[in-house]
Amino acid sequence: DAGITQSPRHKVTETGTPVTLRCHQTENHRYMYWYRQDPGHGLRLIHYSYGVKDTDKGEVSDGYSVSRSKTEDFLLTLESATSSQTSVYFCAISIAQTGAEAFFGQGTRLTVV
Amino acid sequence: QQQVKQSPQSLIVQKGGISIINCAYENTAFDYFPWYQQFPGKGPALLIAIRPDVSEKKEGRFTISFNKSAKQFSLHIMDSQPGDSATYFCAASILNTGNQFYFGTGTSLTVIP
């Protein structure tokens, strides 16, 4: 698992509530990513980070924000959850300096009701 | 739009047969092409990857064939086994930018005993 821990693993929340997902890595890898996985879409990048306080948007960033105040933690926040954000969320890290060799966490299944 | 197009969506192969999954891309700046394997309830796991300076890479029963001029690459699973039944994703990225991985939509492989 390359030392990646996602929490929580499952969550059910109500529409309009804020939700924060956490990704923790045990190594000091530079690159971290948040993806969502939906049937028929594969994995789509939400946000990524290339260092502490250095983050950028991916292709499906609307409705999401991220923060990285420490190398080991990358937080994904849904400011006001909507049903369209029901998905499985994966955190990934890249262990190579080139940005290659991405390793994924176990995922968080989020249901917005 | 989908940066990486993957086919087929699903594949059924007899044990011992060859499984072939195809992907195509448009962005000629991509220089890293990994394949991921995902079992139900798990995160995707890096299976094998190729750079565009080689046309083929083999690791055990898994082979990537890469056609730079056609902007296509494929995964071949030789002597397919029931344990290979999983979802496979191709991806593409640009190294040294910390940039995002663009994933295909996935292929669900079932190997029949």
User: With 80 as the cut, is the pLDDT of residue A96 above it?
Assistant: no
Q: Give the pLDDT score at B37.
A: 97
Distance from CA of B80 to the nearest CA of A (A): 23
Q: How buried is A53 (Cβ within 10 angstroms: 0-12 exposed, 13-18 middle, 19+ buried)? A: exposed
Rounded to whole angstroms, how far apart are CA atoms A68 and B61? 39
- Token readout for A18 is 């804020």
Q: Give the pLDDT score at A95.
A: 74
Q: Give the pLDDT score at A102.
A: 85
Q: Give the pLDDT score at B2.
A: 79
Q: How many CB atoms lie within 10 A of CB B28?
A: 9
Q: Measured between beta carbons, which residues in chain A are less than 8 angstroms from residue B46?
A: 101-103
Give chain B's contact residues with A (Cβ, < 8 Å). 6, 32, 34, 36, 41-46, 49, 89, 93-106
State what percent of residues in chain A have pLDDT above 70.
95
Indicate the pLDDT class of residue B97, thresholds 50, 70 and 90: confident
Q: Give the pLDDT score at B100.
A: 77
Q: What is the mean pLDDT of chain A?
A: 92
Mean pLDDT of B91-95: 89
Mean pLDDT of A38-42: 88
Chain B interface, best mutation among A44, A98, A106, by max B CB count within 10 A: A98
User: With 70 as the cut, is the pLDDT of residue B8 above it?
Assistant: yes
List pLDDT tens digits, range B23-33.
999 999 999 99
Residue pair A17/A111 in contact by the 8 Å Cβ criterion:
no
Q: Does A106 contact B42 at a Cβ distance shorter than 8 Å?
A: yes
Q: Does A33 contact B44 at a Cβ distance shorter than 8 Å?
A: no
Q: Give the pLDDT score at A60.
A: 94
State what percent of residues in chain B have pLDDT above 90.
88
Q: Give the pLDDT score at A2.
A: 65
Q: Among candidates A72, A1, A113, A102, which has minimal Cα distance to B36?
A: A102
List pLDDT tens digits, range B43-78.
999 999 999 999 999 999 999 999 999 999 999 999
Rounded to whole angstroms, how far apart are CA atoms A59 and B102? 9
DSSP secondary structure code for residue A82 in this structure:
-
Q: Give the pLDDT score at A97.
A: 67
